[in-house]
Amino acid sequence: MESWRRRIWEAILDAWALVLPIECAGCDAEDRGLCRDCLAELRPELTPRRTSGGLAVVTALRYEGRVRRIILAFKEHQRTDVAAALSRPLEAAIRHALSGGTAELTAVPTSRSSFRRRGYDPVALLVRHTGLTHARVLVAARRTAAQKSLGLSGRAENLSGALAAKSILVGRRFVLVDDILTTGATLDEAARAIRTAGGEVVGAAALAFTPRFLPVRDKPSHEDYGGAKGALSRPPGFA
């Protein structure tokens, strides 16, 4: 049955490629938004990590090779057609981070300039594709420099005070969501903003990590991740 469905789906994709030619976001193969080999690279390998500030994070993928190309295509080249595929490993990381209690999901917001340039917020779009309920409680409070060329201390300094909560969050618990984890400075800043507003941050999830700074932790535990079973309900329209 599965092979029959796959053949039907591939026939549909072949017909669509004649109407709107497309290349694989991961390897430039013709006629597929993501080829089989690149889809296989998106199988999640859930790994517990810590940000430079000590926040527990679950990551799903390594930000290198084809995975890096796919994420860059999604974020910087308007390849929103791959959002659904990227949302699956992210959802796996989120569910792991939410596996111990009751909390709300909230995505780290993009900067205003990045939103104007792209026309969408990458992390928020991925979270919407998971179908998981999430709350928008953070906003960008000031402009920041590009993080790419900055080291550990530079990233933290650049982001200090960059985010703020929209309202008082006393009594609310959160799991943060981001796309790429490098030092974790962005997640640490998001956690600071929520705590300043009276909320609690019990963990985080990220789509991918760069192996540049953060080591793998040896022994994952539910204590590291907090939890939010209540956040796993799907809104109307999602199966």
Are the CB atoms for 97 and 226 separated by under 8 Å?
Answer: yes
pLDDT in the model for residue 147: 44
Which one, of 117, 118, 138, lies nearest residue 190 by Cα? 138
- According to DSSP, the residues that pair with 176 across neighbouring strands are 106, 204
pLDDT score at 25: 94
pLDDT value of position 226: 42
What confidence score (pLDDT) does residue 234 get? 35
Q: In whole angstroms, how large is the CA radius of gyration of the chain?
A: 18
pTM attached to this predicted model: 0.77
Tens of pLDDT along the chain (239 residues) come to 455 665 665 555 545 554 566 899 999 998 788 999 999 999 999 999 999 889 999 999 999 999 999 999 999 998 998 999 999 999 999 999 998 778 999 999 988 888 888 888 999 999 999 999 999 999 887 554 444 544 445 444 555 567 989 999 999 999 999 999 988 989 999 999 999 999 999 999 999 999 875 554 544 443 444 444 434 333 333 23
Q: For tokens 């962005």, name the residue.
A: 186
